[in-house]
Structure 1
Amino acid sequence: MKVLHLSHTPLVGAPGQICAALREQGVDARWAVLKPENYAGLSFQLDWRWDHHLDEILAFAEAADLIHLHNYIDLDCNDFAPLDFRQLWVQGKPLVRHLHSTPALISRYMGKTEQEVLNCPIPKLVIAQYPERFFSRACIVPNIVARAPASPDRTGKPLRVGYAPSNFRSARISRWDTKGYPETIKTLKRTQASLQKMGIPLELDLITQVPHLECIARKANCDVFIDDLVTGSYHLNTLESLSQGCATLTHLDGRIQTMLAELLKRSDFPALDVRLENLQTVLEHFARQPELARALGAESRLWMQAHWSPSKMAQHFIAAYATITAYPGQAFEERFNPSPAANYRIRDHFDQIWLGRHASWPKLAPAWLTAIKHGLANGFRRLGLKL
């Protein structure tokens, strides 16, 4: 089977991981990126670049049994001309659209309404994270992470905590497009200072704007890793950290826990459910007994090898592809009825809880003061000085 993946952006390397796992299962899967520029100083391993490999991409598209479109690509998308997705659709070419974001974010990027995004007739896949609660007729598929090499032995060393946010927005600014960076950093520094007064060491590795391979290497040398403590969803960061053998902290709301149990047919996903407001308490506990964190990390690594391996996760895509090629253009079965009551249980209830938590999060300096501080810091760095 030949499958061509197309995306506008690198999507934190997720399509490449999927293709690698599919190739191990005998699927000839390739990935082409239209805009390979990396955001926030990150860089990810790519396959084909649209501007460098157009002839190969078009030839592969012609021979492909299925075209796997990511996030912003619908039937009217002309960014990948001469590929005409509407014409391919009319001709009966099997297409699938893989959603990585909420309808609100996708609609803003595309200049369409949220309803237009939801009405797209292409059969849909959705990542097994927070976006699934917005797409009732999308088939849930996992993000995939490569097998991680053995991590360094940190026995006897002070607890090291890692944090690698992909954006720097406040927890209060966005419901989903945030990792709570300023609030989390403030809590981490407050925790480190508190432990220092008690004579307990805590090492912090704040990883920002580095290539993905460097980030992975630094994760492997951490005992605890922090993902998203504010929104209620885990991300690719969680999967990578668990695979690296880190005790991994992320907030998992009730909907995410239910969905993971349905996907995995088990309820022991090893990430630790921690909210931002509980972070200091949890880290102080681990700092006093770092070997406990290392034991949890070792168990997490083994769990990922057994239950979230690339070969096992690839089967979700292979099953979806079989359905799509057998019934091109036919939507997947509805997973939940998007009635007002169901929407409240699945989305609105957790949105209200998120709003109610704001008061317990660290207070931040006014935006104008933060901007002045950043401007001064950047100016001093250019002069080779320190504030």
Structure 2
Amino acid sequence: MCKKYKIVHISQTPLVAAPAKVALAQRMSGHETVAIAIKDYPINGPLAGKFIEDFLIEDEFTKGIIDEAISKADIIHIHNDLPQEWTTRLLHANQTAKYVYQVHSPLREGPLYLPRDSSLGLPFSLKLVVGQFQPRIHQDHVFVPNIIHDTPSVRPRRKGEKLKVIFSPTHLRPGRWNNKYVEQLDTALQSLVKLGKIEAIIPDKPVSPKALMAVRRSCHVSIDEIATGGFHQVSIEGLAAGNVTINKADYFSKTVFSTFSNGEKPPFVYADGESIASTLEDFANDWEKTAEQQLVSYNYFKKHLTPIKMSSIFDKAYETL
């Protein structure tokens, strides 16, 4: 049985809830774990309040419990970055904890990120990286997964049912690895909607993760990005929702991710700007093919990607401490 730890996760912002999801999975596995976000996203911004449900954000009410968690922690797990005053605070409060650093972002892309593990002044014993496209950039880090807590489900497409497609990027910033937009996708979706082949759902503003997942469960196809060769958390959410999950993930990205699933590569459907229209039309014209691929997605998530199984990957990484 894996040793059970007292773990504190700390991030400057919610990082679309990724640290809190790790903490929740670890609590489900028997660890005593808390996630702290130093601040929410800007109050007037579109992401404010949407990703903090499972975080503690420090105020007069929570400061005592945060101080206690830090002082008693066996592991302090830092995500992406930390203000200098927090570095000083941690070192003063706890001289025995093991420090873990995890990076979620590509280099020098919005929101601008530079590696901080060597400059934070903390004695990191382990460096982790999200195991999607990121390991090709951060090459001396151990791979760990993003975790999805939604219970897997599937609503296979039925005969006579129009193909329902969702595309829901959190942003449209340009970049090598953060890019989530190609013009051909817009054209393909608009054309296929006009032809009556598909129903397209494209939120015009950020919505809560729970609402977005509820809508995704009603769809047959989730489109991630088809620009970079990587993929993002939405692809994992697509599998959990039993969707045909379309992205441009290349061999490297899928091979890295397969380390979390006993070597079985994720059942993503490949498309790029040139092929997205024909890929969607093929599924639109074949309800049985759609339903079969939906079941493949659902079964893969259920077999490999549940929170307890993903938490065990962090346990294995911590064993090196």
Q: TM-score range by the shorter chain?
A: 0.7 to 0.9
Q: Secondary structure at the match of 2:214?
A: helix
Aligned residue type for 1:50: E
Aligned residue type for 1:205: I
Structure ID, larger Rg: 1
**1:315 shift after superposition:** 0.7
CA contact (8 A) 2:169 2:180 kept: yes
Q: Secondary structure at the match of 2:86?
A: coil
- 1:198-217 to structure 2, matched below 5 A, reads 200-207=196-203, 208-217=205-214
Task: Decide which of 133, 139, 144 is 1:130's aligned counterpart.
Answer: 133
- Take 2:246 and 2:303, find their aligned partners in 1: how far apart are those partners? 20
- Take 1:120 and 1:102, find their aligned partners in 2: how far apart are those partners? 21
- How many equivalent residue pairs? 309
In structure 2, the CA distance between the partners of 1:290 and 1:40, relative to structure 1 (3 Å rule), is farther
Q: Secondary structure at the match of 1:40?
A: coil
In structure 2, the CA distance between the partners of 1:160 and 1:48, relative to structure 1 (3 Å rule), is same
1:167 is matched with 171
**1:232 shift after superposition:** 0.8
Aligned residue type for 2:209: H
Determine whether 1:274 maps to 2:275. Answer: no
Instruction: Give the TM-score, by structure 1 length.
Output: 0.73
**1:104 shift after superposition:** 2.4
- Take 2:20 and 2:117, find their aligned partners in 1: how far apart are those partners? 29
- 1:10-25 to structure 2, matched below 5 A, reads 10-25=14-29
Q: Which moved more, 1:40-49 or 1:93-102?
A: 40-49
**1:21 shift after superposition:** 1.2
Aligned residue type for 2:54: L
Task: Decide which of 141, 145, 152 is 1:142's aligned counterpart.
Answer: 145
- Take 2:33 and 2:166, find their aligned partners in 1: how far apart are those partners? 33
Aligned residue type for 1:69: I
Q: Secondary structure at the match of 1:83?
A: helix
1:330 is matched with none
**1:99 shift after superposition:** 0.5
CA contact (8 A) 1:40 1:167 kept: no
- Take 1:145 and 1:268, find their aligned partners in 2: how far apart are those partners? 17
1:225 is matched with 222
Determine whether 1:78 maps to 2:66. Answer: no
- Take 1:223 and 1:136, find their aligned partners in 2: how far apart are those partners? 35
**1:80 shift after superposition:** 3.0
Determine whether 1:61 maps to 2:70. Answer: yes
- Take 2:121 and 2:141, find their aligned partners in 1: how far apart are those partners? 12
Aligned residue type for 1:4: V
In structure 2, the CA distance between the partners of 1:154 and 1:79, relative to structure 1 (3 Å rule), is farther
1:29 is matched with 33
Task: Decide which of 75, 100, 111 is 1:96's aligned counterpart.
Answer: 100
1:284 is matched with 281
CA contact (8 A) 1:167 1:181 kept: no
Aligned residue type for 2:285: R
**1:117 shift after superposition:** 6.4
Q: Which moved more, 1:255-264 or 1:223-232?
A: 255-264
1:303 is matched with 300
**1:183 shift after superposition:** 4.5
CA contact (8 A) 2:13 2:39 kept: yes
Q: Secondary structure at the match of 1:216?
A: helix
Determine whether 1:49 maps to 2:57. Answer: yes
- Take 1:234 and 1:141, find their aligned partners in 2: how far apart are those partners? 15
In structure 2, the CA distance between the partners of 1:182 and 1:114, relative to structure 1 (3 Å rule), is farther
In structure 2, the CA distance between the partners of 1:243 and 1:212, relative to structure 1 (3 Å rule), is same
Cα-to-partner distance string for 1:110-152 (whole Å, 9 max, x where unaligned): xx67896699862211000112112222110011111425345
In structure 2, the CA distance between the partners of 1:252 and 1:211, relative to structure 1 (3 Å rule), is same
**1:294 shift after superposition:** 2.2
CA contact (8 A) 1:104 1:114 kept: no
In structure 2, the CA distance between the partners of 1:126 and 1:84, relative to structure 1 (3 Å rule), is same
State the identity %: 26
Aligned residue type for 2:178: D
CA contact (8 A) 1:187 1:280 kept: yes
**1:94 shift after superposition:** 0.4
Aligned residue type for 2:272: R
CA contact (8 A) 2:8 2:70 kept: yes
In structure 2, the CA distance between the partners of 1:270 and 1:57, relative to structure 1 (3 Å rule), is same
Unaligned runs of 5+ in 1: 325-387
**1:256 shift after superposition:** 1.0
- 1:171-182 to structure 2, matched below 5 A, reads 173-180=174-181, 182=183
1:319 is matched with 316
**1:222 shift after superposition:** 0.6
Alpha-carbon RMSD across the aligned residues, in angstroms, is: 2.7
Cα-to-partner distance string for 1:281-328 (whole Å, 9 max, x where unaligned): 10011111133212211221111111111111111111112222xxxx
- Take 2:121 and 2:139, find their aligned partners in 1: how far apart are those partners? 12
In structure 2, the CA distance between the partners of 1:293 and 1:300, relative to structure 1 (3 Å rule), is same
CA contact (8 A) 1:145 1:310 kept: yes
Cα-to-partner distance string for 1:343-382 (whole Å, 9 max, x where unaligned): xxxxxxxxxxxxxxxxxxxxxxxxxxxxxxxxxxxxxxxx
1:375 is matched with none
Unaligned runs of 5+ in 2: none
